[in-house]
Structure 1
Amino acid sequence: MQQTESLVEYGSRRVIITITAIFCALLEIVDTTIVNVALNDMKGNLGATLSEVSWVITAYAIGNVIIVPMTSWLSAQFGRRNYFAASIMIFTVCSFLCGNADGIWELVLFRFLQGLGGGALLVTSQTIITESYPPEKRGMAQAIYGLGVIIGPTLGPPLGGYIVDHYSWPYIFYINIPIGTIAALLTLQFVRSPKYALKKAIKDIDFLGIGLLAVSVGSLQYVLERGQEDDWFSSATITSLIVVTILGFFFFIWRELTTRNPIVELRVLKNGNLRVGTILSFILGFGLYGSTFIIPLYLQSSLHWTSQQAGMIMIPAALTTAFMMPIIGMLIQKGAKQTVLVALGMVIFFVYSFWGYKILTPDTSRDNFFWMLIFRGLGMGMLFIPITSLSLSTLKGQQIGQGASFTGMMRQLGGSFGIALITTYMSRTNMQHRSNLLSHLDATNPAVQNRVSAMQHNYILKGMSPDIALQSAYKALDYSVSGQAQVQSYMDVFMFIGVMFLCCIPFVLMVKDKKQATKLDMGDMH
């Protein structure tokens, strides 16, 4: 176990490495959501359609999710410090190129390359922080890392909104350049590569595995990002890519389990804690990215808030999470059961979701969101650290990096599945709610007649002719019905997410407490 212990850092060196790793994780995650609020400006500036400009998000996500499972292997090939520094440089250079893009497809290409650089930042940051701390302090290490991961998606929209409102969209990419440059220099100076990383000869590299992974994960991400827009199975492209995804994963798993030098070490999933952790990471990603996606969407489409206002309202939740992280880290360090903390976090997340279900209306006031979002912050704080420390608690040496790759990929895929499922679910339920509401609007009903005539009278007073005023009254009534149907769809989504978290609680509590196993591992080290 000497190899793992040799990477433990102390004093100012550990502080510098931790800050560098957190900044890199933040860079990557903020960039996932910061562009969401700038799409309109990009569309106008680059002369693109909405469908084309949405590729700016899709390309980054595909690049991310392809590289994440390969990070442990690439770290071994090139040395962790070199690979991490190179990833920061690729990310930073591509940020500059994104800001200078002249056309939409040029921007999409640079976003894909930026995603390839960025995917490594997240997982390698987690591995570096985990291995820089001694085993008994790893709960606190995960708390520190978790600050970046949980706060990142929340920081993106308000920061993006502010930059777009006060400057122009290229600056959402230029902001990465000074941070990325400093992070790369600090990485080369302070981060060390583990001794157990053995470089393989070119002939031993699993190129087939790399190809199968890129094709299957890339296809899956495309399907999740574009499925709803292209109407799923009615699109030949989506149908073909679903088949490619299934076959690609089947042959990839077969290849990795039979080759001598696998690109992704699937055997690490024999570890029970990691298996549970990957499933919980998927659910965490679903809740984290799903709720970060749904709240600003509701605020902007139903309540007509600006992108900056919609982003700013998430800040108290992010601060609550930041406040909770070190407390949860200390509790784990003092021996609190990770499974109990996860179960409590899921209960709190259910309360937040149910609260959202109860308060949503076509004109909910700003004050009504405050405590609901504080609960979201509490729930996320209680979920992230116990899940990540539970996942990696019984792994040693190179397995830590491999385990972090799996949990990172599952968190990303959970977010993609969450957003794809939410958008599909909302478009389906929206139609149902609309037809249900219209079925109650009987034209012969005196209440309906009174409402229409009152609206018509109002329009006549504004100078319209009676027939135009009547048409406008019916249009306004239809608009009101559509708004109500949309809000009911958002309510359904909140309830759906809440019930999903609630259903996971018994499964979490059935996981055996592995504290004993961890103690045995630590005993072996001494």
Structure 2
Amino acid sequence: MSSPKGFAKFIIVLTTVTAAVMELIDTSIVNVGLSEMAGSLGVNIEDVSWVITAYAIANVIIIPMTGWLAEYFGRKNYYIVSMIIFTFASYMCGQSTSLVELIIWRFIQGIGGGALLSTSQAILFDAFKPEDRPMAAGLFGMGLILGPTLGPTVGGYLIEHFSWPWMFLVNLPVGILATILAMVFIDKKEGEGKNKAKMSVDYMGIALLMVGIGCLQFVLERGESEDWFSSNAIRVSTVLAAIGVIGFIVWELKTPTPVVNLRVMKKRSYAFTIVFTFVAGLGLFTSVFVYPVLAQRVLGYSALETGLSLLPPTLAGVVMMPIIGRMMSKGVSPIPFIVVGFILFAIYCWTSAGVSPDVGRWAFFIPLLIRAFGISMSQLPLINQAVAGLPPKDYAAGISLNNMIRQIGGAFGIAMANNFISQRYAQHRNDMVANTYDGAPAFTERVTAISNNMIAQTGSDITSATAKAHKIIDLAVDKQAYYLAYLDTFRLIGIFFLIVLPLVVFLRVKKKPVVDTKAVKEAMEAAH
């Protein structure tokens, strides 16, 4: 099968990148609409957050299985069916009238969406010659950055101008068009889907994966809201996650036909690549979580303003992706890009941690621009490293496992941030409250000033004015405690990026002599 050219190649790039962006947008688009959804469905925020959890659990279960499923059913068939499932489930989410119904369809949407990420990447890579694959990684990396960032922006706009069902219905035209384009322009590989009769189904591996990774994701997503190990559900899920993950690893390494080929981990470069991918996922998803909450809770941004403040610097970073991809296609080593990218992300964290709460709307522009460049320079080389040094037959397994690790890194980061923010908020609040007792000179002076101002403006009596002054100060202390907790969280994220940098020496792949690119291409086609 020859590589597509011209218009057909353009359509494949457009379809695969759009499908990946659409899937990633849905990981974060509902975050800004939880209040509206809760009010409409008559439930509380705690309950409606299951809409996020259900999608994340389905995603992280299906992503590592995509390589095997694509081979079993045929990659084109699997890709198209996954898009149909995702699009139909999106429609049903928008039509849901109860929380249980919405959670079920959101889980099904996650099953369809999880397949789009890795399969889109594999199809995109096949559209390029081996020597041009870093450029494909650059194009795919654009989607990786755009997706999570566009989610809050699109969600904020739809909530502000329409209603929450449109956060799901917006997928319909994109999903339908992408499905049609995939049917017309993506070719089946020779022999695609004909191995099904010869392949045995790894039922035990699938079951252990669902239990282990599903329960792990549940613990990470729901731990904070369930008060961690004081909850029976979290304790039981933790035990099941440990049993499932350990059992899954042992089983997959000994079975001859694993659903997820963990043997790719034997390659030193790949094993350390997923360590960096875990930290990169932690930074990518956690920063998109922490910054919007800071902007809305402390700085007073609306959901739409928060999304729009993320967009310009992110687009600047996206522009970098094809440039870095072209440089890598010409033989520039990916290692320096990873090092610089991780350092830039650490600088973003420390710069953000130094921003004053009394800032203008564009005070975070420079830190966010540094973040965008850091992500661009690290994500693309890591995408490329996910297959570097692997034989072509293991590319699908390497890509799928790498994408799963990125998602788990994000879930771990958000869970860590939630817990850390709660702890640091309590500590900062206690420290400040210790200085706001009756009789403290600064506190007394502040209460008096606010009370006198209220009496002068509203004619309140001294008792009610003093009570309101205490309330205003309490809210100010609360806001400042959260602000300081978010700054501490930025610093914590930055530490992760610095402590893994020494491991970069293990990412090097031994240079191999030039091989027959036609043979490599044929092997790639057989693998996918």
> Unpaired segments of 5 or more residues in structure 2?
522-528
- 1:408 matched to 2:409? The reply is no
Give the CA deviation at 1:340. Answer: 1.1
CA contact (8 A) 1:7 1:192 kept: no
Give the CA deviation at 1:113. Answer: 0.1
The RMSD of aligned alpha carbons is 1.8
CA contact (8 A) 1:273 1:392 kept: no
Q: What count of residue pairs does the alignment treat as equivalent?
A: 519
2 CA distance for matches of 1:392 and 1:7?
21
Give the CA deviation at 1:370. Answer: 1.2
Deviations 1:164-192 (A, max 9, x none): 11111111111111111111111122223
- Alignment match of 1:234 (pick from 230, 237, 243): 230
- Structure 1 length as normaliser, TM-score? 0.95
1 CA distance for matches of 2:45 and 2:442?
41
Residues 7 and 89 from structure 1, CA distance in 2 versus in 1: closer, same or farther, beyond 3 angstroms? farther
1 CA distance for matches of 2:346 and 2:459?
50
The corresponding residue for 1:388 is 383
The corresponding residue for 1:30 is 25
2 CA distance for matches of 1:428 and 1:184?
46
Give the CA deviation at 1:524. Answer: 7.3
Deviations 1:383-408 (A, max 9, x none): 11111112212234331111110111
Residues 403 and 196 from structure 1, CA distance in 2 versus in 1: closer, same or farther, beyond 3 angstroms? farther
CA contact (8 A) 2:89 2:106 kept: yes
The corresponding residue for 1:114 is 109
Paired letter, 1:465: D
- Alignment match of 2:215 (pick from 187, 210, 219): 219
CA contact (8 A) 2:223 2:234 kept: yes
Paired letter, 2:422: S
The corresponding residue for 1:337 is 333
- 1:375 matched to 2:366? The reply is no
Give the CA deviation at 1:196. Answer: 7.1
Paired letter, 1:129: L
Give the CA deviation at 1:223. Answer: 0.5
2 CA distance for matches of 1:392 and 1:191?
22
2 CA distance for matches of 1:488 and 1:157?
23
CA contact (8 A) 1:394 1:521 kept: no
> Please, which moves more after superposition, 189-198 or 429-438?
189-198
The corresponding residue for 1:133 is 128
CA contact (8 A) 1:280 1:387 kept: yes
Query: How do residues 292-311 of structure 1 correspond to structure 2 at under 5 angstroms?
Result: 292-311=288-307
Give the CA deviation at 1:276. Answer: 1.9
- 1:78 matched to 2:73? The reply is yes
2 CA distance for matches of 1:57 and 1:421?
17
- Alignment match of 2:394 (pick from 379, 391, 399): 399
CA contact (8 A) 2:309 2:362 kept: no
The corresponding residue for 1:208 is 204
Give the CA deviation at 1:520. Answer: 5.9
Give the CA deviation at 1:7. Answer: 5.9
Give the CA deviation at 1:317. Answer: 2.0
- Structure 2 length as normaliser, TM-score? 0.95
- 1:467 matched to 2:453? The reply is no
Give the CA deviation at 1:482. Answer: 1.1
The corresponding residue for 1:500 is 496
Give the CA deviation at 1:219. Answer: 0.5
- 1:258 matched to 2:258? The reply is no
Deviations 1:69-110 (A, max 9, x none): 110010011100000000000000001101101111100000
Residues 92 and 328 from structure 1, CA distance in 2 versus in 1: closer, same or farther, beyond 3 angstroms? same
The corresponding residue for 1:489 is 485
Residues 385 and 439 from structure 1, CA distance in 2 versus in 1: closer, same or farther, beyond 3 angstroms? same
Paired letter, 1:86: V
2 CA distance for matches of 1:278 and 1:353?
22
2 CA distance for matches of 1:133 and 1:518?
21
- Alignment match of 1:245 (pick from 241, 263, 280): 241
- 1:148 matched to 2:131? The reply is no
**Aligned to 1:314, what secondary structure does the other structure show?**
helix
CA contact (8 A) 1:430 1:485 kept: yes
Identity %: 39
The corresponding residue for 2:156 is 161
The corresponding residue for 1:3 is none
